[in-house]
Chain A
Amino acid sequence: EAGVAQSPRYKIIEKRQSVAFWCNPISGHATLYWYQQILGQGPKLLIQFQNNGVVDDSQLPKDRFSAERLKGVDSTLKIQPAKLEDSAVYLCASSLVLTEEQYFGPGTRLTVT
């Protein structure tokens, strides 16, 4: 069974530029999550989708971050414009409905200079 796929793996941009990350969850997983992880810390949930609907986006900085999952499968997370403090690893995870066990992709390491 294929795992969660993410791309790109690494991205370096200058502040005020925009960037987009892509995630394809495990087949059949209706729930998809985007997390932000600062080096050495635990992941912080940015947004949770169930199918193509948003379940929780309370910690998403909506003035600069946006995410969509239009067809209920893959998802895109965008940052526009980026700030220095956005430098982090962006993790995508998926799970079956009614289960708390999440499966993570390898992440995208973003560096904002």
Chain B
Amino acid sequence: TQLLEQSPQFLSIQEGENLTVYCNSSSVFSSLQWYRQEPGEGPVLLVTVVTGGEVKKLKRLTFQFGDARKDSSLHITAAQPGDTGLYLCAGGTGGGNKLTFGTGTQLKVEL
């Protein structure tokens, strides 16, 4: 069974601070996705990374896929209250469209 562990599980910070969320596994994935989920809504895809070592930037968010394609990180610069939500990583195995979701990181950004 493939497992994706996220850390930290909870994070409460002030507006303007930087933060990093980690997603780790002992398994290799063909792709790694990051989703954000707000209360009462379904997860929304933020980014997909497919190449080991790949770095993608989305405004204040920076995503990195580990060289061995077993881990990933999400870095947020100058966090804003609108960044509040549950962040989920999800690993793809390349066959059958199946994703394995991580354990989740609940982020709260306060004014």
Task: Give chain B interface residues in 17-54, CB to chain A under 8 Å.
Answer: 30-31, 33, 35, 40-45, 48
Residues from chain B with a CB closer than 8 A to the CB of A35 are: 101
- For residue B69, give the distance in angstroms from its CB to the closest CB of chain A: 13
The stretch that binds B, out of A13-21, A62-70, A78-86, A92-100, is A92-100
B97 touching A40 by the CB < 8 A rule? no
Contact A40 B45, CB 8 Å, known A48-B97, A56-B96, A106-B40: no
B102 within 8 Å of A (CB atoms) = yes
A103 within 8 Å of B (CB atoms) = yes
B7 within 8 Å of A (CB atoms) = no
Residues from chain B with a CB closer than 8 A to the CB of A1 are: none
- For residue B84, give the distance in angstroms from its CB to the closest CB of chain A: 14
**Count of B interface residues, CB-CB < 8 Å:** 27
Residues from chain A with a CB closer than 8 A to the CB of B90 are: 42
Most buried by B among A4, A41, A106: A41
Most buried by A among B45, B86, B92, B96: B96
B48 touching A100 by the CB < 8 A rule? yes
Complex alpha-carbon distance, A24 and B41, angstroms:
16
Residues from chain B with a CB closer than 8 A to the CB of A41 are: 103-104
B59 within 8 Å of A (CB atoms) = no
Give the contacting residue for A42; candidates B30, B45, B103; CB below 8 A.
B103
A104 within 8 Å of B (CB atoms) = yes
Q: Tell me the nearest residue of chain A to B40, going by C-beta.
A: A106
Complex alpha-carbon distance, A55 and B93, angstroms:
14
Task: Give chain A interface residues in 5-46, CB to chain B under 8 Å.
Answer: 31, 35, 40-45
Q: Which residues of A contact B (CB under 8 A)?
A: 4, 31, 35, 40-45, 48, 50, 55-56, 91, 93, 95, 97-107, 109
Q: Which residues of B contact A (CB under 8 A)?
A: 4, 6, 30-31, 33, 35, 40-45, 48, 86, 88, 90, 92, 94, 96-99, 101-104, 106
